[in-house]
Structure 1
Amino acid sequence: MNLYTRHAVTALLAALAVGCGAPPAAPPPRPAPSAPAAAGGHAGAPPPSAAKAPFTLVASGDVLASYPAVLDAAKNDAPDFGRTEGAPTGYDYRPMLKGIKPVIAEADLALCHLGTPLGPLAGPFTGSGALQAPPQVATALKDAGFDSCATASGHTLDRGDAGVRATLEALDTVGMRHTGSARDAAEGSRPALLRARGGAEVAHLSYVLGDRRATARGGRPWAVNPVDEQRIIADARAARRAGADLVVVSVAWGTEYRTEPDPTQLTLARALTAAETDGRPDLDLLLGTGTLAPQAYEKVNGVWVVYGLGDQIAGSMKKQEGTWGTAARFRFTPPERPGERWQVTDAEYVPQLVTRKKPLRSINLGRTKLWVKEHAAIEKTVLSRGAAASGLKAGS
């Protein structure tokens, strides 16, 4: 990072933290989407000669950051809330994630899903119609320890091209990688290539199913990635050729508030996990979001599928399942010979919920004896397709 970039990032980071400063006159240069994540987070940069080591990957569900209750909580948690002169200007999402931060921070690579487009510091921010959340969300996700965020969702294009740009610029500013939407064709043609601590190269891909706007975006097919079975397989193979040891695919799909995967999810999961090249699966992990409720984990054709991670940040939802979620945690071990498949040697789910009463917080149910009924319901859902027999365990 050169001196100019470091100073620009520092200035904008300060503004994003509480929303009370102005962005720098010139934005920092956009990082190349195909470059490995920089040192200083989970993703280290070992020398090419270093042997690749096992690593733990964690992924969590939808971040719905503009719902009214969420906005109110972020405003109340801002450092300048309650000041006597003028209205508070900031939003702070970091306290919401404090309870789950250890799970994310302890991972060697952590993935999130952004279900709400981000806007400029001045807003407006809304949780209905065309969604738009404060850019301080990016600061909180980075602070929690996330390395890359899937951005393809049913709301990606709520604010058009300007919303896509604002979202990706906020993520770029805090050093978060992203995949699923793009500002131009060149960016849209590259996956997020991440280097996990230990040296593994991981490609993160993201798609959305059923968003009419994604299929009617005219001459900008790169704005958001729609689900297309053959396209996903082709992208996974291209990522492998580009050097990825593992390919992780995030898909926003399914039926809202349904705790069982629908037929479309089951069919697509079977097709994607069955794809292989030279006897090796093209996908190593399939992560589902967009269901607004947790769904089953299942090993399909030897590949772990999470049909629905549920929600990571949510407000007052229509059903209580909308405040439930899980963090998926998988330990990947390298093969004995280069070019062969990495193996999952440990598979866990961490049950979570978002409190319905103030203050709004994401709670790790694996580290509390409260919310017993909710914990049991999430466990029943997650294990409903036989994941326990495949080695899935509850984590904390």
Structure 2
Amino acid sequence: MLSGVVACGPFGSDDAGGASGKPTFTVAAAGDVLIHQELTDQARKDAQKTGKGEKGIDFGPMMEGVKPVISKADLGICHFEPVAGKPEGPFEGFPNFVVPPQITTALKDVGYDTCSTASNHVLDHGPDGVKDTLDALDKAGLKHTGSARTQEEAEKTLIMDVKGVKVAQLSFTFSFNGKEPPKGKPWMANFMKLDAIAAAEKKARADGAEVVILSVHWGREHWANPSRPQLTLARQIARKTGIDLVIGHHAHVVQPMEKIDGTWIAYGLGNQIARHDVPTGLTEEGAIGWFEFHKSGKGWDVQARYVPTFVDIPPKADDETGKLPKGAVTDHRLVDVARALRKNEGLTSEQRARYRIAFERTEGTMLNRGGAQNGLRPLQGLPG
């Protein structure tokens, strides 16, 4: 969190300047936040138990599994993909999302500080949808970038003070699903082009940014391997701009991390929270990227880690009895799998096996472009 202090242990050092006395800070970043109807139904169910939330909707219990990680970072970055509506609804799912704005409060509560908003769904409901989304993020106390309500807002670089370091966040998307910003308002959402990204980074530096982080919505859905356009653009960004870190999303499955000429590229962090109509096993898996920035000469040395996550999804009830299978999970929950396995509180044998599969598959995917050679590893490993 922007005002937080990094803890000892896997999250870094309490020393704000690090052992060298030079500036250092941590970033936690995750993939898509995409609220499907089943998740809204779960939030209603949870609100009945907690008595919290707004208009009978509480996403807190669903999200709290990642709070121990996100809240420890000096800067927490989420990707808010859909359009936020009114607290009482009505809500819509695919293809033109309108989701409960109550999710923004839950994101803030687990420790997120800022969200990228440029996505293929950002223009699902035109200018009103953009306004409602950004209003909801503002109300929750979350900073944002990637879309804008006014030209003035679009032209203002998001720069945050992170332990005394001025950190800028940029956000771009490869698609608006065939929609276009209103005539005369091309600034409403950021379309992904190398020249536009380079210009935004240059402006951020001119505005005083010491570090620039790029959130980019790109790639091919449900493909764990980066696409050729992703690989090409990643190299152009690393070699033709001064961007310090690239955080990718959109594929809804985990993709690798790779260090290119000193710049870490997280091609895709999967879903942070989602519930697709047909869960594939991969869409329930995600990763939180954990990045430690250390001032080094004129630039920054960045160490990359990752935290495998998993979304528990209850199976369908039996058609005749209306009951879930014995031992099945009963609630949608976002899980830090290594932490859950270490605590091992009430886990079934099926959960333990599934979490291990999620961890090991995420690890294999993360490392398949040579990241281990540059120190990429899990923030915490599996218990023995």
Under a length normalisation based on structure 1, what TM-score does the superposition of the two structures give?
0.81
Contact 2:291 2:305 survives alignment (8 Å) = yes
Structure 1 position 93, deviation (Å): 1.0
Structure 1 regions of 5+ residues with no counterpart? 1-36, 277-281
- Taking structure 2 as the reference length, the TM-score comes to 0.83
The aligned counterpart of 2:13 is: none
Cα distance, 1:220 vs structure 2: 1.1
2:278 equivalent to 1:308: no
Corresponding letter in the other structure for 2:300: W
Measured on the aligned residues, the alpha-carbon RMSD in Å equals 2.2
Q: How does 1:1-396 map to 2 (within 5 A)?
A: 53-65=23-35, 67-79=36-48, 89-196=55-162, 198-213=163-178, 215=180, 217-276=182-241, 282-318=242-278, 319-336=280-297, 340-344=298-302, 346-357=303-314, 358-369=330-341, 370=352, 371-396=355-380
Question: In the alignment, is the contact (CA less than 8 A) between 2:166 and 2:209 conserved in 1?
Answer: yes
Contact 1:135 1:167 in 2 (8 A): yes
Mean Cα deviation higher: 110-119 or 309-318 = 309-318
Which amino acid letter does the alignment assign opposite residue 69 of structure 1? E
Query: Residues of 2 paired with 1:124 and 1:54: CA distance?
Result: 44
Q: 1:317 to 1:364 in 2, by over 3 A?
A: farther
Asked if the contact 2:123–2:181 (Cα under 8 Å) also holds between the matched residues in 1, the reply is no
Cα separation, 2, equivalents of 1:213 and 1:90? 35
AA partner of residue 72 (structure 1): D
- Paired AA for residue 250 in structure 1: S
Instruction: Return the offset for 1:41.
Output: 5.9
Shift of residue 274, structure 1, vs aligned partner: 0.6
Task: Indicate the percent of aligned positions where both proteins have the same amino acid.
Answer: 38
1:137, 1:82 → 2: CA distance?
16
Q: Which residue identity lines up with residue 356 of structure 1 in the other structure?
A: I
Contact 1:41 1:145 in 2 (8 A): no
SS at match of 1:77: helix
For the 8 Å contact 2:308–2:358, the answer to whether it is kept is: no
User: C-alpha displacement at 1:317, in angstroms?
Assistant: 4.7
Deviation at 1:147, TM superposition (A): 0.6
In 2, are the aligned partners of 1:350 and 1:394 still within 8 Å (CA)? yes
Whole-Å Cα distance in 2 between the matches of residues 325 and 362 of structure 1?
10
**Offset at 1:122?**
2.5
Task: Go from structure 1 to structure 2 and tell me whether the alpha carbon gap of 1:40 and 1:272 turns closer, same or farther (over 3 Å shift).
Answer: closer
Q: Deviations over 1:346-372 (max 9, x none)?
A: 320000111122311111112133222
- Please report how far the alpha carbon of residue 128 of structure 1 lies from its aligned counterpart in structure 2 after TM superposition: 2.2
Deviation readout 1:302-360 (Å, 9 max, x if unpaired): 10000001001111453221111100001101234xxx11111x320000111122311
CA pair 179-214 structure 1, distance change in 2 beyond 3 A: farther
Q: Secondary structure in 1 aligned to 2:283?
A: helix
Paired residue type of 1:76: K
Unaligned runs of 5+ in 2: 7-15, 315-329, 342-351
Paired AA for residue 328 in structure 1:
G
Residues 161 and 216 of structure 1: CA distance in aligned 2, closer, same or farther (over 3 Å)? closer
For residues 156 and 216 of structure 2, the distance between their equivalents in structure 1, rounded to whole angstroms, comes to 17
Aligned length: 338
Aligned partner of 1:234: which letter?
Answer: A
